[in-house]
């Protein structure tokens, strides 16, 4: 899953004006993948090409205990929440940011074959929807478009910037699904992934400067500051 991980970011931004900025939420949505591809550069976590891995994705993600285990994701979420709490001095955006990070493991569990551990052990989990393209593709598009529409309807601003963001996301996803499969893993592939994350995050930062939230529905999480 690629753009589907940004669906929780859009949803969190739609919930409240106290949510972190959209760019921060975009980082949260893909935080464990930022970490994974960075770790892969240094051989800390590893992947390899396997055309038979799944129908849609030819990657064997065979060693990623620090980023894609449930425990690892919880730790990344806690760290990110603390950083947001330190920056914002408000529990509500910190909670939202942490939930977006945590959503990554659940969404990966839906699509990955069993390559996700709970605590970095040998028992692996994953529903494997990447082997069911006619389910996985509508699911990813549906949650992303639904959350995007919610975000746009919950905020005011020009339509152009979010439309550009959505177009870029869909273009990257089309390349991911229908482009030629890489022949090998290595720094070039890892760098391309990180560059894609950085580009959409920069566009999200721009979008966030053009839109204002309409209402606050998270007053129950704590006093406004």
HEC assignment per residue over 23-45:
HHHHHHHCHHHHHHHHHHHCCCC
- Residue 37, token pair as written in the block: 């591809």
| Rounded Cα gap, residues 88 and 93, in angstroms | 7
Q: What is the maximum alpha-carbon separation in the chain?
A: 53
Task: Tell whether the torsion through CA atoms of 135, 137, 140 and 145 is positive or negative.
Answer: negative
Q: How many CB atoms lie within 10 A of CB 215?
A: 9
The answer to whether residue 217 is domain-embedded is: no
The answer to whether residue 108 is domain-embedded is: yes
What's the structural domain count of the chain?
1
The answer to whether residue 218 is domain-embedded is: no
pLDDT along the chain (225 residues), means of 10: 94 94 98 98 96 94 97 98 97 97 98 96 95 97 98 95 98 93 92 96 97 67 51
Residue 37 has a pLDDT of 98
The answer to whether residue 219 is domain-embedded is: no
The answer to whether residue 158 is domain-embedded is: yes
pTM of model > 0.75:
yes
Residue 161 has a pLDDT of 98
- Residue 71, token pair as written in the block: 């425990």
Residue 63: domain span = 3-209
The answer to whether residue 216 is domain-embedded is: no
3-class SS of residue 199: helix
Q: How far is CA 221 from CA 19, 79, 151, 218, 224, in A?
A: 11, 20, 20, 6, 9
Q: How many CB atoms lie within 10 A of CB 58?
A: 14
Residue 186 has a pLDDT of 95
The answer to whether residue 89 is domain-embedded is: yes
| Rounded Cα gap, residues 110 and 56, in angstroms | 14
Q: Which helix (H) or strand (E) holds 47?
A: strand 46-49
The answer to whether residue 196 is domain-embedded is: yes
């Amino acid at each position: 899953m690629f753009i589907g991980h940004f669906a929780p970011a859009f949803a969190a931004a739609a919930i409240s004006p106290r949510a972190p900025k959209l760019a921060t939420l975009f980082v949260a949505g893909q935080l464990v993948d930022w970490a994974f591809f960075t770790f892969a550069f240094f051989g800390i976590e590893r992947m390899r090409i396997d055309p038979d891995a799944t129908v849609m994705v030819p990657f064997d993600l065979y060693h990623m205990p620090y980023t894609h285990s449930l425990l690892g994701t919880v730790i990344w979420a806690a760290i990110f929440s603390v950083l947001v709490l330190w920056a914002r001095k408000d529990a509500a955006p910190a909670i939202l940011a942490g939930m977006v990070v945590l959503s990554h493991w659940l969404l990966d569990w839906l699509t990955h074959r069993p390559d996700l551990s709970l605590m970095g052990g040998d028992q692996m989990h994953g529903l494997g929807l990447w082997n069911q393209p006619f389910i996985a593709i509508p699911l990813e598009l549906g949650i992303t478009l639904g959350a995007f529409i919610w975000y746009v309807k919950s905020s005011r601003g020009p339509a152009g910037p979010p439309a550009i963001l959505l177009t870029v996301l869909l273009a990257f996803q089309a390349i991911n699904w229908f482009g030629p499969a890489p022949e090998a893993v290595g720094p070039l592939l890892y760098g391309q992934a990180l560059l894609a994350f950085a580009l959409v995050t920069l566009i999200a930062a721009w979008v966030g400067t053009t839109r204002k939230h309409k209402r606050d529905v998270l007053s129950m999480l704590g006093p406004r500051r």
